Each structure stands twice: as C-alpha cells, then as structure tokens.
Amino acid sequence: MLLSVLLPCAPIAPAWADAGAGSHARLDAYIRDRMEATGTPGLAYAVVAPEGTVHQRAWGTDGRGDPVTARTPFLWGSVAKPIAATSVMALVEEGVLGLDDRVVDHLPDFRFGGPEHAPQVTVRHLLHQTAGIPASAVGAVDCLDADCPPPAARIGTLDAVDPLGPPGTEYAYSSTNYLVLAAVMESATGRSYAEHVRATVFEPAGMDGAIADRASARTRGLAPGHQPLWGVPAPVADGVDDGGAVYGYTGGDLGDLAAFAAFQLRGAQTADGEAVLTSESVHLMREEGRLRPDGGGSGYGMGWRVGGLDAPLDDAVWHTGASPGYSGMLFLLPEQDRALVVQQNLYALLQDRSVMQVGFGAARILAGAEPSVDAGSAPLHRAVVWCSTALAVLMVVAAVRSLVLLRRPAGTASAWRRAVPAALVALAGALPGAAVAAVVATVGAAIPLVWVPDAWIALLVATAAGAVTVVAVIAGAARPRWRAAERAEPARVPVETGER
C-alpha cells in the first residue's frame, strides 16, 4: 500500500519517456512496458505507410511456447468488421447488393422484431449497427463447435429478441449485426463469406496468409490464445467460429494486418494502383452514421469507429477487437498518413481497458502526443474472479458441513426452531444457482465459459455445492424428532418388586 502511494512521486520515468518523442524506439519501449504491465505473453506491432510497413517488432511467445515473429498468426477480433464492411462495399459497387436493400429480400427467414420491424432493416442499418439489435443479443455468436451451423441458420435466435427501437433510431454495438451481414452476402453471392472476403479484400490487399475459417487457421498453425486464469495467463483459448470471421474470427500474421492498413491508407487501392472501391465509397465508410429523427451522430461508420478519441487522435479512424485469447488494434491516422497495427495473444473481457491501452497509448505517441497517464487496471476482473472463487470455497465448506451434520442424530429442538435456520442456509445455498440461471437466461452458458472461464467455473462449483447444501439441510430439518428422542433415551427395563 505504501509503495503504491510513493511510486507516483518517484522521479523515475518509464523507459519509453526518454527514447525520443515520436521515434520508433520510443514506441518500442512503451509497448514493452505495457506488455510487462499486463503480463502479455506475445505481441507484434507495426507502423504502416501507404507503401507498406516502415517499422515492426515482435516479442514473447505464442500459446505453444514458440517465439513470436512477424509470421506468427493471431486472431484480430472485431478488427474483422472494417474488413467485412469493405467486402460488402465491393458487392455494392458491383451492383450485387444495395445499401438500402431490405434484409428480408435476401433472407426471407429474417424475422427480427416481427412483421413490422424486420422488413424495415436494411444492409445500411447492419453496417451502421442501427438495426435495433441490442448488445445483449449474443446467442448466435462465438460458436466454436465443429458442426456449428452457417450464419443464415443462426439468425433465428433473433426471433424472440425485442428491438431497441425502429431501424435507424438507436445505435448499439452488436456483432450479431455482422453475422446477419455474412448471411446476406452468402445469399447474394452463392459462396461462403470466407471465399468472398478472400477474393474481394485479402487478395487485392496482399493479405496472403489471412485466416477466415477453421481450415485456414489450421493451415497457418494458429496457436491457442491466452486468458488469465486466477491472474495467470494460460493458453486455454482454442477455437475458431467458422461463421464468425465476419465479426471477430478473422486473423493472420503481422504482415497481413499491416497489408490491410496500407490498403486502407491508399484508399482501398491495390499496390499497383487498381481501385477496389471508389473514393466515394471509402469516404462513406468512414463517415459516422446519423440517427433518426434528429440526425445525431452514432460515432460508428460502416465497420469503422470514427473519432471519439482525444486530440490528436480526434480524426482517427480505428477499430479494436478481441476473440477469446487474442486482441487486435488498427488505427488510421490521416494527418500523419500513417497507421498503427497491434496484435496480442492475450485478452480478458473484464480487463479490456488495461489490455487495449497498449494500442491507444502507442497511437498517441505516433501522433506526437503523450500516452494517457491512466493506463487502466483490472480491479473489476480481480473482484469478480476472487469473489466468485471465495463463494465457491464457502459453498464447498457449507456442503461438507451439512453432510456431516446429516449423519449425526437429530436434535430435540422443535420443528419451528429447526426450520428457520435451515431455511436461511438453504436460501444462501440457492443464491449461486439463481445467479447462474440469470446469466444463462441472458447470454447462455457458452458465452461466460468462453470469455470469463475462471469466474464461471468458480460460480458453477458454488452452484453445485450450494445444491448439495440445500438438499442436506432440508433432509436434516425434515427428520422426525421422535426418532431422535428414541435414540437419546435408554430403553426402560422392568424392575422386580416382589409384589404380586
């Protein structure tokens, strides 16, 4: 505690502060400092110009213990969304899709919000994340099983979801918007999203080793990503959602991500100057969506986050993202005509701010500013994990104690005196189960296991132990008191008195 108070007053500056303003050495030092602060096992980053990479570094190890290099594949999380939006715009320019096409015209089974809402949802709404799909509608995403259905077969999960409002009136960031987009593209083209994005984005941009499905992940030798288990990064996140490349399961090595950044700096032109998108389309993608009826900005373009950062990053076009065990970042800096890309093999949902700070801070340095002093920490993650773990321990102790008491003879207390404490203990034992039921009803059982495995496992243990406690306490309270009295009193033996 005393050390944490004195450290801010110490005259020792971090290594990156003395490495020269805006220099690549300063970036290197800052990023290494953040790696150490978050315990990130492996990281690769690059500074990119329209012509390609001008500086790159890679450090640490992957999920198999091999050294991370510029050729090590990572997953990029939601950095997949600007890639997907680019592939949509390619279809728009070909005339295969229209931004104002109704989703139901491509997907007749799309029933989100019922007959009044679904027919109003357009491709534009999905790109802008203004279709009315709430952020909590995650039942169709992150399917890591080998037999997961394609995007079009998953959209039925939206049938029972209530819209936030009429299309175009509310912005809510939800990867489900982009899952529906994948289904639309597959319907319009007659081929899988992986095939389509390779032809329209990967090949023109020079992303030769990019990952868009489970098969390409195997080919590239994608290692497991890291998630902190009780504070220790562990390579436990392994799996790719075949239908999820459109929103979060796209990846590749540093060269692939840098190639996409350079492609964007060139205005969606190939290295040979061939335009994949018109300048009008590129501009439209980087313009924030407007909400009806007042025309307020949403801060989100078509696959891009637009602005929303402090100067000098106020004109940046950017996106961050995470998939289980991995995180990625991409910042386009128009004034510098530069881009920054970062990929890490660590992610924790409840440590998002701390893990992602490396990209925001490095982008500020690249733009000639100081990184934020508040780099973020993980108090919420620690609180959730260790409180759920403590609860699990308490419930296990309570279960063991309840079973031990159940084996002892029942007392002679009245039924009322036994019922009240038993009810209180049973109520406490049922609370973890109620919490699990609430989470499952909201997001399902798979999502917390994928994103917060340690806390979820602890909560499941607490639930199981709590159930044992409830059963044991009720069984003990229900035992007839007369049996206890019989065991407590010795049998009476007749005494001979000699009288007849």
The pLDDT confidence band at residue 399, using thresholds 50, 70 and 90, is: confident
Chain-centre distance for alpha carbon 210: 21
Confidence (pLDDT) at 391: 87
User: Which residue's structure tokens are 């009193």?
Assistant: 489
CA distances from 282 to 34, 93, 263, 290, 482 (A): 33, 11, 11, 17, 84
User: At residue 124, does pLDDT exceed 50?
Assistant: yes
The pLDDT confidence band at residue 91, using thresholds 50, 70 and 90, is: very high
User: At residue 84, does pLDDT exceed 80?
Assistant: yes
User: Which residue's structure tokens are 């990625």?
Assistant: 328
User: At residue 487, does pLDDT exceed 70?
Assistant: no
CB 112 within 8 A of CB 159: yes
Average pLDDT over residues 137-143: 88
User: At residue 419, does pLDDT exceed 70?
Assistant: no
20-70 per-position pLDDT tens digit: 444 799 999 999 999 999 999 999 999 999 999 999 999 999 999 999 999
Tokens of 112: 């989100």
Closest-CA residue to 199 (of 90, 51, 82): 90
User: At residue 3, does pLDDT exceed 50?
Assistant: no
| SS3 category, 220 | helix
Q: Which of 9-18, 32-41, 121-130 comes out lowest in average pLDDT?
A: 9-18
| Three-class DSSP labels, 381-424 | HHHHHHHHHHHHHHHHHHHHHHHHHHHCCCCCCCHHHHHHHHHH
Segments of the chain assigned to CATH 3.40.710.10: 12-366
Confidence (pLDDT) at 410: 58
Calculate what percentage of the chain has a pLDDT beyond 70. 87
The pLDDT confidence band at residue 431, using thresholds 50, 70 and 90, is: confident
CA 283, 285, 286, 287 dihedral sign is positive
What architecture (CATH level 2) is domain 12-366? 3-Layer(aba) Sandwich (3.40)
The H-or-E segment that residue 204 falls in is helix 203-205
On average, the pLDDT of the chain sits at 88
CB 317 within 8 A of CB 308: no
User: Which residue's structure tokens are 């004034």?
Assistant: 335
CA 158/CA 174 separation, integer angstroms: 12
Confidence (pLDDT) at 96: 97
Ramachandran assignment for 231, one of left (phi > 0), alpha (psi -120 to 50 degrees), beta (any other): left
What pTM, to 2 d.p., does this model score? Answer: 0.85
Across 10-24, 205-219, 360-374, 389-403, the highest mean pLDDT is recorded for: 205-219
Sequence-distant (6+) residues with CB within 8 A of 190 are: none
The pLDDT confidence band at residue 403, using thresholds 50, 70 and 90, is: confident
Q: What angle do CA 224, 260, 57 make, to 5 degrees?
A: 60
The pLDDT confidence band at residue 439, using thresholds 50, 70 and 90, is: confident
